[in-house]
């Protein structure tokens, strides 16, 4: 059989097309042949000019059915992610084809500011490009130039899909410069000072924010919006909107979507394809107590000792509680001055019915010192506000917000507020419901430890919040284990930090020991066997052994907690969700 190459010209002749430069049937009167989706781009720009929101989806999975669903649902845009993930150029082209003849603008996020990558994405038919990690006006101007044909820019002309495979070079190049969208992502602290100047770069009408990378550059790696990051992003957003440009960001959930729109973001991503799927899947699993975190190894998490992989229909009868839960707001504890300028308010302890556990808040006046002392039990100290130096037998650690230091029994230590003007506030926990302390007269030579020091081997342990290993304990949660038997052999208690994004929650569960939970920011809903409590402003809950409970963030803002168990291993036993309701309370 004879085989020959089929040219576009011969293909047109073979199927009976006339000399129309597009390889599609000739349009009927009044219709336009396939080109850039100019009407979709104009519609998106018109909505933005009227200060209307344009909603979209971030695409990272291979299936083009996802993009077809986005188009069918009338989303204004999709971003096909070629920076992260596994999409190759064929898959990117397939996603672009899924938006043909629609009113959904298709953008491609390239891996970096690179002329070749931008040219290739646009040649495949993208309506615009998204460029990560833009920090200067020079970088932004180069991105615009790479996306435009000469003489205005530096984009090469190719005989690819965007030009009808070379059949409509003149038509496409005549309109592309005017309509192509160039969207930078601002995702580093370094971009803050350049925002006003970036708003003067011609050819850019929409800026995107990357909160996670921004948090990383601010010292809060692994967080979506670390302390202070949300305020910085909002300030940048205000400057951009004042210049007549618009801002976009991905929402973390339904409440956050509404929050972002109210804040003035106009190009809001409803989520990523994988994120939306996981959110739905994990939410469904959580309703039957089957949700669990995904581990880096992508294998199911092995249950810890005392933890069940599947929920029990009810807690073991041997855990029947003998005390009610207690909710203690700050101000209702047992405050007293333990040293000049050092005030301790116990929130959980013997006075609240706790066993083997005391937690509370210590406030140090400017310059105040709690002199060297020791305890017959382990102690945890977490900085909440201000500055703090913790000295353990002379080794001096300067703590930042939410850094944690744990001191073993009998180890001499002191804490100091080095600020001459601002108070310091810390959360403390001790492995006793009636802790005592002994003053230490011995003098220790002071040795300043490095800012990233994590403590002395087999002595104190320091968890640096910015670099601590993070995991999850439920949907939309981030957890840090600061101390337990595995991290610090011989310790009697365990504890750490939890971040709950809007909608974040834990499954219904019980412990074989008492637990203290202090809400250090935001508002939490604590559910104990159907009884609901709203907690904020460092209010602390005592959950006695055997009480079925869970925490959920029902607000529109993040919530943070510090949790401490009166046991050396963070064990929890998941039970059926019905056990946390009035009707299903197993202890009635």
User: Tokens 């309370």 identify what position?
Assistant: 585
Last residue of a domain, one of 275, 309, 334: 275
392 three-state secondary structure: strand
Strands (E), 273-368: 326-328, 334-339, 342-348, 358-364
Classify residue 563: in a domain, yes or no: yes
**What is the average per-residue pLDDT within 423-437?**
96
Q: What does the pLDDT look like over 153-209, one tens digit per residue?
A: 999 999 999 999 999 999 999 999 999 999 999 999 999 999 999 999 999 999 999
Count of structural domains within the chain: 2
**Residue 260's Cα: distance from chain center in Å?**
15
Last residue of a domain, one of 247, 275, 303: 275
C-beta of residue 148 within 8 angstroms of C-beta of residue 202: no
> For 8-63, how does the pLDDT look when each residue is reduced to its tens digit (9 = 90+)?
455 455 444 433 333 333 333 333 444 579 999 999 999 999 999 999 999 999 99
Q: Where do the H-state alpha helices sit in 246-363?
A: 254-263, 273-287
Tell me what pLDDT residue 127 has.
97
Is the residue at 350 inside a domain?
yes
Minimal CA–CA distance to 108: which of 87, 130, 77? 130
Which secondary-structure segment (H or E) carries 46? helix 38-49
Q: HSE (CB half, 13 Å, CA atoms) of 219? A: 10
d(CA 404, CA 495): 10
Q: State the angle between helix axes of 38-49 and 169-179 in degrees (0 to 180), rounded to the nearest 10.
A: 10
Domain that holds residue 503: 317-580
The whole-number pLDDT of residue 303 equals 47
Do residues 70 and 273 make contact, with C-beta atoms less than 8 angstroms apart?
no
Alpha carbons 229 and 401: distance in angstroms, whole number = 14
Mean pLDDT on 313-332: 93
Whether residue 164 is contained in a domain is answered as yes
Cβ neighbours, 10 Å, residue 425: 18
SS3 374: strand
- Residue identified by tokens 């709950």 is 500
**Under a CB-based contact definition with an 8 Å cutoff, are residues 161 and 123 in contact?**
yes
**Using one digit for the tens of pLDDT, what is the confidence trace for 260-278?**
999 999 999 999 999 999 9
pLDDT value of residue 322? 95
260: its two tokens: 């972002």
**Mean pLDDT, range 104-108, rounded to an integer:** 98
Q: How far apart are CA 581 and CA 560, in angstroms?
A: 24
The verdict on 358 and 270 lying in the same domain is no
Give me the pLDDT at residue 522, please.
97
Which residues face 363 on adjacent strands? 343, 425
- Whether 16 maps to a domain, the answer reads no
Residues 277, 275: Cα–Cα separation, whole Å: 5
**Do residues 324 and 457 share a domain?**
yes
Mark whether 343 and 265 lie in a shared domain.
Answer: no
CATH number for 534: 2.60.120.10
Looking at the structure, do residues 346 and 256 belong to the same domain, yes or no? Answer: no
| pLDDT for the residue numbered 323 | 95
The pLDDT, as a whole number, for residue 300 is 64
Question: Does one domain contain both 389 and 494?
Answer: yes
Q: Among all chains, which residue has been given the structure tokens 């130096």?
A: 389
DSSP result, 211-269: HHHHHHHTT-TT-SS-TTHHHHHHHHHHHHHHTT-EEEEE-SSHHHHHHHHHHT--EEE
Assess whether 142 and 47 both reside in one domain.
yes
Q: Are residues 264 and 168 in the same domain?
A: yes
pLDDT digits (tens, 9 = 90+) for 449-504: 999 899 877 789 999 999 998 988 888 899 999 999 889 888 999 999 999 999 99
Strands (E) in 77-209, as ranges, are 77-81, 105-109, 128-131, 181-186, 206-209
Tell whether 268 and 199 lie within a shared domain.
yes
Is the pLDDT reported for residue 295 higher than 80? no
One domain, residues 444 and 509:
yes
Q: What are phi and psi of 449, to 5 degrees?
A: -90, 150
Same domain, 410 and 262: no
| CA 147 to each of CA 154, 183, 391, 486, 513: distance values in angstroms, whole numbers, following the listed order | 7, 11, 57, 53, 62
**Residue closest to 418 by CA, chosen among 441, 447, 391, 395:** 391
pLDDT tens track for 508-564: 999 999 999 999 999 999 999 999 999 999 999 999 999 999 999 999 999 999 999
Average of per-residue pLDDT across 387-391: 97
Query: CA–CA separation, 5 vs 452, rounded Å?
Result: 65
Q: What is the pLDDT of residue 226?
A: 79
Which residues have CB under 8 Å from 230's CB, separation 6+?
211
- Cα torsion for 227, 241, 554, 226, to the nearest 10°? -10
| Token pair listed for 507 | 């499954």
CA 587, distance to chain mean position in Å, is 37
In a domain, 379, yes or no: yes
- Domain with residue 170: its CATH number is 3.20.20.60
Who contacts 30 (Cβ-Cβ below 8 Å, separation ≥6)? none
Instruction: Say whether the peptide bond before residue 486 is cis (omega within 30 degrees of 0).
Output: no
Angle at 248 between CA 243 and CA 251, to 5 degrees: 145
Q: Domain for residue 304, yes or no?
A: no
What Å distances lie between residue 475 and 284, 515, 537, 550, 558, CA to CA?
10, 21, 23, 13, 13
Structural domain includes residue 23: no
Radius of gyration, CA atoms only, the chain: 29
Does one domain contain both 204 and 110? yes
Angle, alpha carbons 24-159-43 (nearest 5°): 60
Domain end, chosen from 260, 275, 290, is at: 275
What's the DSSP call for residue 397? Answer: E
Half-sphere exposure of 438 (CA within 13 A, CB side): 11
User: For residue 499, is it left (φ>0), alpha (ψ between -120 and 50) or beta?
Assistant: beta
Residue 586 forms part of a structural domain: no
- Looking at the fold, whether 352 and 431 belong to one and the same domain comes out as yes
As a whole number, the mean pLDDT across the chain is 90
**Beta bridge partners of residue 369, listed in sequence order:** 416
CB burial readout 216-235, b (16+ within 10 A) else e: bbbbbbbbbbbbebbebbee
4-19 per-position pLDDT tens digit: 444 545 545 544 443 3
Q: Alpha carbon of 74 to those of 44, 274, 587: distances in Å? A: 12, 19, 50
Q: Give yes or no for residue 249 having a pLDDT over 50.
A: yes
């Amino acid at each position: 059989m004879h085989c020959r190459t089929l040219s576009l010209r011969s293909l047109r002749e073979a199927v009976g097309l006339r000399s129309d430069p597009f390889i599609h049937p000739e349009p009927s009167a009044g219709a336009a042949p396939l080109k850039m989706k100019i009407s979709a781009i104009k519609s998106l720009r018109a909505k933005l000019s009227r200060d209307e929101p344009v909603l979209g989806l971030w695409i990272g999975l291979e299936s083009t059915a996802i993009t077809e669903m986005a188009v069918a649902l009338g989303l204004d845009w999709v971003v096909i992610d070629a920076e992260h993930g596994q999409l190759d150029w064929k898959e990117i082209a397939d996603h672009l084809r899924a938006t043909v003849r629609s009113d959904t603008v298709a953008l491609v996020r390239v891996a970096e500011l690179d002329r070749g990558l931008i040219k290739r994405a646009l040649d495949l038919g993208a309506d615009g490009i998204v460029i990560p990690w833009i920090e200067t006006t020079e970088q932004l101007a180069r991105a615009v130039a790479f996306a435009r044909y000469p003489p205005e820019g530096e984009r090469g002309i190719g005989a690819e899909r965007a030009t009808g495979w070379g059949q409509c070079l003149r038509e496409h190049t005549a309109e592309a410069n005017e309509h192509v969208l160039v969207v930078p992502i601002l995702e580093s602290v370094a971009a803050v000072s350049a925002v006003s100047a970036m708003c003067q770069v011609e050819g850019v009408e929409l800026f995107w924010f990357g909160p996670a990378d921004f948090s990383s550059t601010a010292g809060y790696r692994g967080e979506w919006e670390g302390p202070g990051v949300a305020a910085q992003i909002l300030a940048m957003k205000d400057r951009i909107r004042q210049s007549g440009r618009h801002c976009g960001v991905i929402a973390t959930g339904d409440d956050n979507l509404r929050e972002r729109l109210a804040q003035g973001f106009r190009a809001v991503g409803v989520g990523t394809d994988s994120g939306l799927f996981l959110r739905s899947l994990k939410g469904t699993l959580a309703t039957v107590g089957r949700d669990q975190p995904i581990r880096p190894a992508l294998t199911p998490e092995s249950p810890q000792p005392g933890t069940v992989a599947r929920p029990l229909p009810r807690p073991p009868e041997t855990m029947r509680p003998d005390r009610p839960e207690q909710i203690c707001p700050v101000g209702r504890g047992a405050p007293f001055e333990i040293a000049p300028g050092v005030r301790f308010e116990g929130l959980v302890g013997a006075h609240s019915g706790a066993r083997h556990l005391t937690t509370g808040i210590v406030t140090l006046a400017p310059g105040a010192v709690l002199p060297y002392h020791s305890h017959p039990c382990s102690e945890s100290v977490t900085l909440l506000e201000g500055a703090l130096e913790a000295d353990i037998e002379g080794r001096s650690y300067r703590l930042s917000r939410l850094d944690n230091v744990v001191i073993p029994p009998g180890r001499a230590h002191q804490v100091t507020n080095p600020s001459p003007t601002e108070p310091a506030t810390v959360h403390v926990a001790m492995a006793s419901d009636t802790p005592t302390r002994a003053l230490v007269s011995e003098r220790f030579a002071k040795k300043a430890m490095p800012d990233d020091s994590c403590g002395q081997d087999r002595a104190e342990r320091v968890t640096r919040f910015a670099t601590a290993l993070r995991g999850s304990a439920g949907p939309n949660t981030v957890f840090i284990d600061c101390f337990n038997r595995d991290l610090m052999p011989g310790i009697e208690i365990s504890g750490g930090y939890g971040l709950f994004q809007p909608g974040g929650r834990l499954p219904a569960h019980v412990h074989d020991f008492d637990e203290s939970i202090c809400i250090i920011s935001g508002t939490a809903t604590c559910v104990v066997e159907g009884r609901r409590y709203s907690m904020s402003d460092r209010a602390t809950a005592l959950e006695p052994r055997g009480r079925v409970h869970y925490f959920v963030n029902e607000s529109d803002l993040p919530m943070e907690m510090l949790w401490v168990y009166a046991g050396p291993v963070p064990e929890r036993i998941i039970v059926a969700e019905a056990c946390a309701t009035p009707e299903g309370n197993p202890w009635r």
